Structure 1
Amino acid sequence: MKKITVKKQAAIKLRRTFPLIVADDLKFLPKEDSFVDFVDEKENFLGRGYLSKQNKGAGWVLTQAQENIDQSFYKRKFENAKNDRLSFFQDELTTAFRLFNGEGDGLGGLTVDYYAGYAVFSWYNTFVYAQSSDIIAAFQSVYPEIKGAYEKIRFEGLHFETRFLYGQAAPEPLAVKENGVTYATYLNEGLMTGIFLDQKNVRGSLVSGLAVGKTLLNMFSYTGAFSVAAAFGGASQTTSVDLAKRSLDKTREQFEMNGIAPETQKIYVMDVFNYFNYAKKKELFYDIVVLDPPSFARNKKKTFSVAKNYGELVQQSVDILNNNGLLIASTNAANVSRKKFKKMVQESLEDKGVSYTIFQEEHLPSDFKVAQTFPEGDYLKVLFIQIKK
């Protein structure tokens, strides 16, 4: 096994079972991806894992023991993850959730999601993908009940983004349930499936009474999942806004899956910032505004990033909120900490001169297991804010 020496500060982190390796941790970064033993400057063993570049860093520690990382190792990881999620399989109201959450379940670089009997693997770097035959064989031995599987490639260098792996092909659309709401998903349509499973708890709040009798504006709506949850939960009217042309048909389909006529809701294919101006001009006001933008986006006239521009979204939302309205402010931007996000939102509200109460905060749902020694893995930040003008 190749030995890689880490710097003094990195050695301290690894002794605390911190799983992520970044390039600055290493005395020397080899060109080839490989399994490695991480050692300190005195060659004391710290952990075994692998090096392979991905957007989070340079590699992952997988174990603090000098054990083989092979099919048996992966099988134990999947068995532990399955035992942690037994209650999810018994919930008839939710049939889509995360089966395996990367470093949270002990194998950074891989996630596996469950969609009503089917599995979707997401590979985040070339080296973990190179181990896919052993990983998939281990998975199949732990989950023989899975009907079929797909994979998503979330790193550069291959000629495809998604493909069918094994078993039966899933119907299109594949209907899944979450909190009793039905969603149309497509397992072999690019990197997206039609629903972001990490927002389950937020949609659950909308389903279970938060939106009753209220009007809701869903910005960056994608397939309208927040809107459908709100309508299912008794909202009087939903408005969904997204720049992507596909969002119109996708959102209509989600309403139809739940017996809600799309014509009773409002769906706009429009730039979000243009819609704010449109709403002000038409004097449209809402009881709830949901802000869940991509971390980074660009159109012909404007570049948006959560780190720089989220406050602008908050202030624009205040202008079209009813008094005592609710803002659901959300981001999954990994480069914005929970503390920074909260401060950004609060400063924007204070600049607008409104009083507000943050009455609920959401993190990742429990199926998105987070390692205690790696709180950075809890990337989802959601604030429920009541605003008094």
Structure 2
Amino acid sequence: MGKEIDIKVKAKYASKMGKGFPLIAKESISNLHDLQEEGSLVRLVDENKRFLAKGYYGKQNKGYGWVLTKSENEKIDQPFFSGKIRAAVEFRNPYFQDPETTAFRVFNGEGDGIGGLIIDHYDGHYVISWYSKGIYSFKEYIIKALQDTVEVKSIYQKKRFDTKGQYVEEDDFVMGEQPEFPLLVKENGVQFAVYLNDGAMVGVFLDQRDVRRKIRDDYAKGKTVLNMFSYTGAFSVFAALGGAIKTTSVDLANRSLPKTIEQFSVNGIDPKTQNIVVMDVFKYFKYAVKKELKFDMVILDPPSFAKSKKFTFSAGKDYTNLLKDTIAITEDEGVIIASTNCSTFDMKKFKSFIEAAFRESNGKYEIIEQFSLPADFKTSPEYKEGNYLKVVFIRKIKG
């Protein structure tokens, strides 16, 4: 892999990195000018030149690379990557054995020992997401490791190379036998139509699996359900299959309508029995108030950052107001499912948004359930930001 570059870690970051913190942050490096080519292997040393860890240089929105090993003599070669992929697959063995769930995460970045690399499984087809040119430089090693470990029907890739983490458009297909799309996969017995060749998002967010199952099994029966920021309607499908009286799915994107119709249809639900609305979510709140609409359950799963013609939403600043709008259209004793994938604040802070929203709405509430990432989204205990998902089930108390 070429010569390893010594990177000096500033004193205030050295101890944290020595304890296993996996991210190589830009501000932690003293000699940035020595970093030239992404994919270069780096030896991280403290200001006294004592070895801390070994990693790779790769720019992404989170930092300048990731630690790969704390062993000075470990080689970063084919056996290294094969070992990491093999361990990750073994950890997910229960998912591979479950015929009711055929879509799950196989490799979750730093949680599995290689930051910047994500691999998802869709019924024998694999999607690799590369988050920097640095990790992409190891492509041949990683693809061979995957092929040597599991039976691969096909591999697709998503390059997310620019510093904002946005998707770089190009042909996604890498190798194997391309399936017909939509590819039907299962999650807890429910079918999803996915498109591995259609841009950054394939049609379902796998990190909400446990939440969707909970909604179907324990909360949906006999309820009117509003699904805000609905994307392809996955929450709505689970709610309908759980016995909801009716679901309403709201999303600004025009493609959400045909995509949601498709998800209902592949599960034997007549889309005409459900309500699918293409509208700015923030306008829908006003519409619902005007029409005096109220719901037994409201699901909120906004992106961390969203922009419409008249409004910019940032989870860290605006979630409290979003909840206030939601409280106003939730029935007494109804349930609000508040979710965020924003990694810049923790569950304690998220709960403070909930408390503020109810206080400012002169309402009472109780927290009845909470979720974070499912088991296949393995995280590193030294990198709490990696456990980004926060979902809270809130009951709006009457009186």
TM-score between the two structures when normalised by the length of structure 2? 0.95
Structure 2 residue corresponding to 1:7, chosen from 3, 10, 24: 10
Which one-letter code corresponds to 1:136 in the other structure?
Answer: I
CA distance in 2, matches of 1:180, 1:207: 11
Answer with 101-110 or 43-52: which moved more.
43-52
CA deviations over 1:72-127 (Å, ceiling 9, x no partner): 10000011001111111111111100000000000001000000110000000111
CA deviations over 1:284-316 (Å, ceiling 9, x no partner): 110000010111111111111111111111001
Report deviation, 1:137.
1.1
* Residue 348 in structure 1 maps to residue 357 in structure 2: yes
TM-score between the two structures when normalised by the length of structure 1? 0.97
2:134 corresponds to: 127
CA distance in 1, matches of 2:327, 2:386: 31
2:372 corresponds to: 363
CA distance in 1, matches of 2:24, 2:322: 34
CA distance in 1, matches of 2:111, 2:159: 20
Is contact 1:294-1:331 (8 Å) kept? Answer: yes
CA distance in 1, matches of 2:329, 2:311: 21
CA distance in 1, matches of 2:327, 2:218: 22
Aligned to 1:20, the other structure's residue is in SS state: coil
Which one-letter code corresponds to 1:152 in the other structure?
Answer: K
Q: Runs of 5+ in structure 2 lacking a partner?
A: none
Which one-letter code corresponds to 1:195 in the other structure?
Answer: V
Is contact 1:104-1:369 (8 Å) kept? Answer: yes
Report deviation, 1:159.
5.9
CA deviations over 1:197-222 (Å, ceiling 9, x no partner): 00111101112121111111000000
2:181 corresponds to: 172
Report deviation, 1:32.
3.0
CA distance in 2, matches of 1:142, 1:294: 34
Is contact 1:79-1:142 (8 Å) kept? Answer: yes
2:90 corresponds to: 83
Aligned to 2:337, the other structure's residue is in SS state: strand
2:52 corresponds to: 46
Report deviation, 1:160.
2.6
Is contact 1:221-1:241 (8 Å) kept? Answer: yes
Aligned to 2:392, the other structure's residue is in SS state: strand
- Give the aligned length: 388
Is contact 2:333-2:396 (8 Å) kept? Answer: yes
Is contact 2:344-2:385 (8 Å) kept? Answer: no
1:308 corresponds to: 317
1:292 corresponds to: 301
Is contact 2:294-2:330 (8 Å) kept? Answer: yes
1:253 corresponds to: 262
1:136 corresponds to: 143
* Residue 213 in structure 1 maps to residue 222 in structure 2: yes
1:29-44 superposed matches below 5 A: 29=32, 30-33=35-38, 34-44=40-50
2:200 corresponds to: 191
Alignment RMSD (CA, Å): 1.2
2:158 corresponds to: 152
CA distance in 2, matches of 1:53, 1:186: 28
Which one-letter code corresponds to 2:45 in the other structure?
Answer: V
Is contact 1:4-1:26 (8 Å) kept? Answer: yes
CA distance in 1, matches of 2:390, 2:143: 32
Aligned to 1:21, the other structure's residue is in SS state: coil
Q: Runs of 5+ in structure 1 lacking a partner?
A: none
Which one-letter code corresponds to 2:327 in the other structure?
Answer: V
1:264-279 superposed matches below 5 A: 264-279=273-288
CA deviations over 1:208-237 (Å, ceiling 9, x no partner): 121111111000000000000100111111
2:112 corresponds to: 105
Report deviation, 1:51.
1.6
2:235 corresponds to: 226
Is contact 2:104-2:376 (8 Å) kept? Answer: yes
Report deviation, 1:161.
4.6
CA distance in 2, matches of 1:358, 1:209: 15
Report deviation, 1:31.
3.7
Is contact 1:162-1:189 (8 Å) kept? Answer: no
CA distance in 1, matches of 2:311, 2:297: 25
CA distance in 1, matches of 2:333, 2:169: 48
CA deviations over 1:42-82 (Å, ceiling 9, x no partner): 11111110121101111110101121111110000011001
CA distance in 2, matches of 1:233, 1:311: 29
1:16 corresponds to: 19
Is contact 2:160-2:168 (8 Å) kept? Answer: no
Is contact 2:60-2:162 (8 Å) kept? Answer: no
Which one-letter code corresponds to 2:109 in the other structure?
Answer: G
Percent identity, aligned pairs only?
51
Which one-letter code corresponds to 1:222 in the other structure?
Answer: Y
Is contact 1:209-1:234 (8 Å) kept? Answer: no
1:329 corresponds to: 338
Runs of 4 or more, structure 1, over 6 Å off, are none
Return closer, same or farther for 1:108/1:238 CA change in 2, 3 Å cut-off. same
Aligned to 1:120, the other structure's residue is in SS state: strand
CA distance in 2, matches of 1:292, 1:239: 14
